[in-house]
């Protein structure tokens, strides 16, 4: 951290921009007709350690205006300077309450084009939900939530209706193994959510290890760099390596994947979450980029990661996408929460690629014309995860 960065980290709690109406209220600003209502009043500041230097002051006197209680920086309607978004989020995350259970509810979606041409198609959001409760010992229960697949936008909905509102819509099989597959637009009948015991690990970290992660950003990064895993998006090598072995973008990518998990589904204590936000703020190329709405309609601030192609790490031995993608985190600085992870198309899929032979012995290949995002334009949503609930609570989990 150089001296300019150090300065930027100073007094971040005060860097929050407030809504002009709030400022107008507190400053008695009355439009153009405002007059200075009085001369500046200087609040008393003491030097607690060396009171002798300042006549008549003995204790640390908090800065208060003579108007009584001044509202703190607004939690609602506040606007925050871009460079400070992650630091403000960190401060908020740290204040989050703790409880007996870690409770999360999330939805992941992938966007599929339905139709035969860029001009004539609609997009469907194919969704899966999950909910989990984890206690302090790391034991938990989780359930899969059935969700209907839905048209992505109002316009997509009209096109789906024009097609007769089919309950099953046909799409090309992305991996070429079957001729076609279907998306299920029928709302699921309510049934037993099927709670199962779970003892999840998060990039190899058990809940008790997560609880003990460092709470200073540098120390946290250092600890995460030791995480061993399959950090290549796809690789013929199957060995594990520490993140520290990666360089440049690959390292930022692995770290930001772990960071996003620690900020969302992992049972990380508030202090660790705060450190994750601060760590993200120091990663090269990680930028705040203005406001956005997440797939649940909540407003947040976009943090964009300096990466292209975000095939899930470590899952595949072959790449299963033909486009490239960039990843954004949508965070709420006001609550210190990660709201969603969005993967946007950077370059739409092109060409084809052979895949290893499947279990049935048939040869398979990826073709651009079968890909879910074959009609996407750059910048359009390819897939997402949205976190509806991520909280520590004392509420008992459902039985």
Partner 1 sequence: MAMVSHARDELDDSRIVAASLEDPDAFGELFRRHSPRLHAYVKRRLGLALADDLVSETFATAFRQRERFDGRAEFGAWLWGIASNLIAKQHRQETRMYRAFARTGVDPAEEDVADLASDRVSAAALGSRLAKSLASLSAQERSVILLLAWGGMSYAEIAATLNLPLGTVKAKIHRVRAKLRKTLPEETTDG
Interface contacts to partner 1, rule CB under 8 A:
1-4, 6-20, 23-24, 26-29, 31-37, 40-43, 45-50, 54, 60, 62-65, 70, 72-73, 79-83, 87, 90-91, 94-95, 216, 222, 274, 278, 290-291
Q: How far is the CB of 229 from partner 1 (least distance, A)?
A: 20
Cα–Cα distance for residue pair 264/273, rounded to 1 Å? 9
Q: How far is the CB of 83 from partner 1 (least distance, A)?
A: 7
20 vs 378, which CB is nearer to partner 1? 20
**DSSP assignments along 83-130, one per residue:** GGHHHHHHHHHHHS---SEEEEEEEEEEEEEEESSSSSEEEEEEEEEE
62 vs 239, which CB is nearer to partner 1? 62
91 vs 368, which CB is nearer to partner 1? 91
Phi-psi label, residue 251: left if phi above 0, alpha if psi -120 to 50, beta otherwise: alpha
State the Cα torsion 157-161-162-166 to the nearest 10°: 120
24 vs 177, which CB is nearer to partner 1? 24
169 strand-pairing partners: 183
How many other C-beta atoms are found inside a 10 Å radius of the C-beta of residue 290?
9
CA-based nearest residue to 273, from 93, 111, 71, 135: 93
63 vs 190, which CB is nearer to partner 1? 63
Q: How far is the CB of 276 from partner 1 (least distance, A)?
A: 13
- 115, burial (CB in 10 Å: exposed 0-12, middle 13-18, buried 19+): middle
Q: How far is the CB of 342 from partner 1 (least distance, A)?
A: 19
130 vs 215, which CB is nearer to partner 1? 215
305 in Cβ contact with 285 (< 8 Å): yes
Q: How far is the CB of 47 from partner 1 (least distance, A)?
A: 5
2 vs 359, which CB is nearer to partner 1? 2
CB neighbour list of residue 147: distance below 8 Å, 6 or more residues apart: 107, 127, 128, 129, 188
Q: Length of the chain in residues, anyone?
A: 399
Q: How far is the CB of 57 from partner 1 (least distance, A)?
A: 10
Q: How far is the CB of 271 from partner 1 (least distance, A)?
A: 8
How far, in whole angstroms, is CA 343 from its chain's centroid? 11
251 vs 353, which CB is nearer to partner 1? 251
Q: How far is the CB of 289 from partner 1 (least distance, A)?
A: 10
136 in Cβ contact with 117 (< 8 Å): no
78 vs 145, which CB is nearer to partner 1? 78
Angle of helix 248-263 versus helix 270-281 axis, rounded to 10:
150
96 vs 107, which CB is nearer to partner 1? 96
Largest CA distance in the chain: 89
Q: How far is the CB of 339 from partner 1 (least distance, A)?
A: 17
Q: How far is the CB of 367 from partner 1 (least distance, A)?
A: 41
- For residue 302, give the H/E element and its range: strand 299-304
20 vs 99, which CB is nearer to partner 1? 20
370 in Cβ contact with 176 (< 8 Å): yes
364 in Cβ contact with 357 (< 8 Å): yes
Residue 146 is given by DSSP the state: -
Cα–Cα distance for residue pair 47/55, rounded to 1 Å? 10
Q: How far is the CB of 111 from partner 1 (least distance, A)?
A: 28
């Amino acid at each position: 951290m150089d001296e300019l960065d150090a300065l930027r980290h100073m007094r971040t709690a005060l860097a929050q921009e407030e809504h002009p109406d709030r400022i107008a209220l507190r400053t008695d600003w009355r439009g153009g007709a405002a007059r200075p209502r009085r001369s500046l009043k200087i609040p008393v500041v003491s030097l607690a350690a060396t009171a002798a230097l300042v006549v008549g002051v003995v204790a640390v006197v908090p800065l208060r205006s003579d108007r009584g209680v001044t509202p703190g920086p607004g939690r609602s309607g506040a606007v925050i300077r871009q460079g400070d978004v992650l630091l403000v989020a960190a401060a908020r995350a740290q204040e989050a309450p703790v409880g007996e259970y870690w409770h999360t509810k999330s939805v992941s979606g992938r966007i599929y084009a339905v139709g035969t041409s860029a001009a004539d198609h609609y997009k469907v959001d194919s969704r899966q939900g999950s909910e989990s409760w984890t206690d302090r010992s790391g034991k938990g229960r989780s359930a899969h939530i059935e969700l209907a697949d839905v048209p992505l936008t109002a316009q997509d909905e009209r096109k789906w209706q024009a097609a007769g509102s089919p309950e099953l819509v046909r799409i090309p099989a992305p991996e070429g193994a079957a001729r076609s597959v279907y998306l299920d637009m029928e709302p699921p009948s309510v049934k037993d959510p099927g709670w199962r015991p779970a003892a999840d690990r998060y990039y190899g970290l058990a809940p008790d290890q997560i609880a003990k992660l460092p709470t200073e950003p540098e120390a946290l990064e250092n600890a995460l760099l030791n995480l061993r895993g399959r950090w290549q998006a796809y690789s013929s090598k199957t060995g594990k390596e520490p993140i520290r072995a990666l360089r440049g973008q690959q390292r930022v990518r692995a770290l930001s994947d772990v960071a996003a998990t620690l900020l969302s589904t992992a049972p990380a204590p508030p202090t660790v979450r705060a450190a994750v936000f601060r760590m993200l703020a120091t990663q090269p190329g990680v930028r705040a980029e203005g406001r956005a709405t997440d797939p649940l309609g909540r407003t947040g601030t976009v943090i964009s990661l300096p990466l292209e192609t975000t095939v899930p790490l470590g899952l595949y031995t072959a790449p299963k996408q033909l486009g490239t993608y960039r990843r954004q985190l949508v965070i709420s600085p006001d609550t210190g929460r990660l709201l969603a992870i969005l993967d946007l198309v950077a370059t739409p899929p092109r060409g084809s690629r052979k895949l290893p032979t499947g279990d049935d012995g048939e040869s398979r290949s990826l073709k651009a014309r079968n890909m879910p995002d074959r009609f996407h334009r750059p910048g359009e949503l390819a897939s997402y995860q949205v976190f509806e609930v991520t909280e520590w609570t004392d509420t008992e989990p459902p039985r």
